[in-house]
Chains A and B, each alone.
Chain A
């Protein structure tokens, strides 16, 4: 029985894609960008919905971010992907609003 459980767990763990090991765009956005872009921070608060998806892509492709973010290309791409996914012209959730 124990052997079966171990086999099953091993099979399940193999199902987990290796992508899980890479940091996700939203986490990077919160950690890296959020370090400066926050209330009382060095830079103004930034929301992905501040720009349209293609505008975000162009913004980083043109190197318009004035401060070196110290990110690897892969991480930057993950952040851009996250920004595009939640950009002003992306699909938005619809439900009665919950005030904070």
Chain B
């Protein structure tokens, strides 16, 4: 720029000298030269105008004003960006993965209902690998897809599994087959008078709060795990309440899931009108919110009914299948992370269950009629309760990547039952009718890899933990489990 102006100035000076000369004398130059000088001046003036426009207050440099090399570089960058953007837009689904290797060393002190009389103590170890493929996509601004496919296997695939069903298909170790853990779409329709979202598909209803503390990750499920921890297909309608209540992340959910579907496809493609069993439908309502004034907290109030539960006699070593009645559950969950910046995460959950037996029964291993929490011909209603509480401390020690240490305790009464068959543990800890103590230490190695060392002790005061069939009995069973795991996520 400066160079151009200097050149222009020099030419002007020379021109004026040529015309006026020093001391009023006139210098004659050829007309061609004079015209050439004027043309040159005109060209330079245009160049200066162009550059001044480029440095206009808008500050936007134009490609024309750029040196040719810079302009070429910018073009190359745009071309690269176009390719990257096109590639990104073509990648409809984002992929992530998790791999966990876990070893459990357990000691089980049996009673008559665990392995039969005479079997007093059992020591063993159990190794598993769990691979998860996580998928997500923002199909449109208001249409989000999330999925997870899991292969959860025992080492050597040589262990039997009890209580395998659809709600723990991807949470019970087995062979190397892939299972659909979750696949759902969040749809937030536009133009609705109220903030409404519909979530349909195989729902995110396993490993819910407070499991994420122990799992060293963020919240992984809609419902608190004490009441519902498993895989389930269904539809959830959520109404956002934040704009009405002013409470952050507040909303009410109306959920419907199917826990059993009697489709007699040998007769017709549709549900057979004369089918043997009613479908099991789960209707639930959840209110949740961040507790006003408590940052990073969660309060959930739950009510859930499982209508027409189907009892399967094979679960109790017997035979038969029947609609055994209804179960109603109520729950409260309170959680606060990093309470007053102390590094402590705290939670408390409680649950209440109530049965309404139909009187239908299956047959247990001893040939006795067995109904909803009843053995024999009686049709008594029963109630149970449970609490689950604990804390996690985030140790502020950077050289060790801020390890975490946690403790959980849960207690279930004699008739406690909830839908927790999809537990991330090998044992259904939250179904315990008795006391469970759980200690763990989490050692992060980097952002993607952590290890966990844990010890769990369970005193089973009553039999039939996690089972809705048959009456309970007293139990002296105890479980001690020491485990470690390595978990990678990327």
Name B222's contact: one of A15, A53, A95 (CB within 8 Å).
Answer: A95
Q: Are A19 and B236 in contact (CB under 8 A)?
A: no
B211 to chain A, nearest CB (A): 11
List chain A residues, Cβ under 8 A from B11. Answer: none
Q: Are A17 and B238 in contact (CB under 8 A)?
A: no
- A2 interface contact, C-beta 8 A: no
- B73 interface contact, C-beta 8 A: no
List chain A residues, Cβ under 8 A from B447. Answer: 53
Q: Are A100 and B238 in contact (CB under 8 A)?
A: no
- B221 interface contact, C-beta 8 A: yes
Q: Are B199 and A96 in contact (CB under 8 A)?
A: yes
List chain A residues, Cβ under 8 A from B219. Answer: 93-95
Nearest residue (CB) in B for A16 is B342
List chain B residues, Cβ under 8 A from A10. Answer: none
Q: Are B489 and A91 in contact (CB under 8 A)?
A: yes
Interface residues in A68-95 (C-beta closer than 8 Å to B): 91-95
Q: Are A93 and B218 in contact (CB under 8 A)?
A: yes
- B62 interface contact, C-beta 8 A: no
Query: What size tier do the contact residues of chain A reach?
Result: 10 to 19
- A31 interface contact, C-beta 8 A: no
Nearest residue (CB) in A for B255 is A96
Given contacts A15-B342, A20-B341, contact A99 B238 (CB under 8 A): yes
B336 to chain A, nearest CB (A): 14
List chain B residues, Cβ under 8 A from A100. Answer: 195, 240, 242-243
- B343 interface contact, C-beta 8 A: yes
Q: A96-B238, A99-B238, A99-B251 are in contact. List 4 more A-B contacts (CB 8 A).
A: A91-B218, A96-B184, A96-B236, A96-B253
Residues of B within 8 A of A (CB): 136, 144, 146, 182, 184, 186, 188, 195-197, 199, 203-204, 208, 217-222, 236, 238-240, 242-243, 249-251, 253, 288, 340-343, 396, 447, 489
Residues of A within 8 A of B (CB): 15-17, 19-20, 24, 53, 91-100
